[in-house]
Amino acid sequence: MATFPAEAIVNATDRLICMNTSNLPSVSFQIADAAGPELKNYLKHKHAFGLRVGEALATPSFGLTNCRFVIHVNGPNYRIRTRRSIPLLKQLLADCYRACMEEAYKLGVKSIAFPAISTGMSLGWPRNEASVIGARTVRAWLRHPIHGQKRREVIEKVYFLADPVGRQAHQEGAWCAAFR
């Protein structure tokens, strides 16, 4: 993810926008490592209050040479689900993708790359279900009956990338997709 050539890459983060500093090779860790300490300092000083679930925030890419912007998004935690909360969690996950697309549109980027938001070990979404929600949401956003044409003129390519690490590595095929 940290080396994928897109104008904007999405970083799935937490409420406090803490860049993952664990030893696990997560996407956040890869982005934080590649961007350098400037990104952490920027987030700490400019956005100290963090993000609510479903919100997105764009920052410069700093040390990342493959992109111009990093769009940070706070995804919902699937592990805390109950039967009644599942529709709300699905809506919050869709909101994450919509918010990222809105940020990319405001920035005028031609391409954006998404990881599988909220599918890591800590948030626990099944990758297959999360990928369907993500792809449907982005397609609907790009095909909006009023604004869709204008949006497609700005954002030409959307990439969905699998990050085959950890015990979910066998599910890579469920996420890999790219469409124009």
Answer yes or no: are the C-beta atoms of 70 and 59 closer than 8 Å: yes
Answer yes or no: are the C-beta atoms of 43 and 17 closer than 8 Å: yes
- The verdict on residue 155 lying in a domain is yes
Answer yes or no: is pLDDT of 21 > 70: no
Domain span holding position 41: 8-179
Answer yes or no: are the C-beta atoms of 168 and 127 closer than 8 Å: yes
Provide the pLDDT for residue 18. 65
Query: Chain-wide mean pLDDT for the chain?
Result: 83
- pLDDT tens track for 132-172: 999 999 999 999 999 999 999 999 999 998 655 444 444 44
- The verdict on residue 152 lying in a domain is yes
Provide the pLDDT for residue 78. 87
Confidence of residue 180 (pLDDT cuts 50, 70, 90): very low
CATH number of the structural domain spanning residue 22: 3.40.220.10
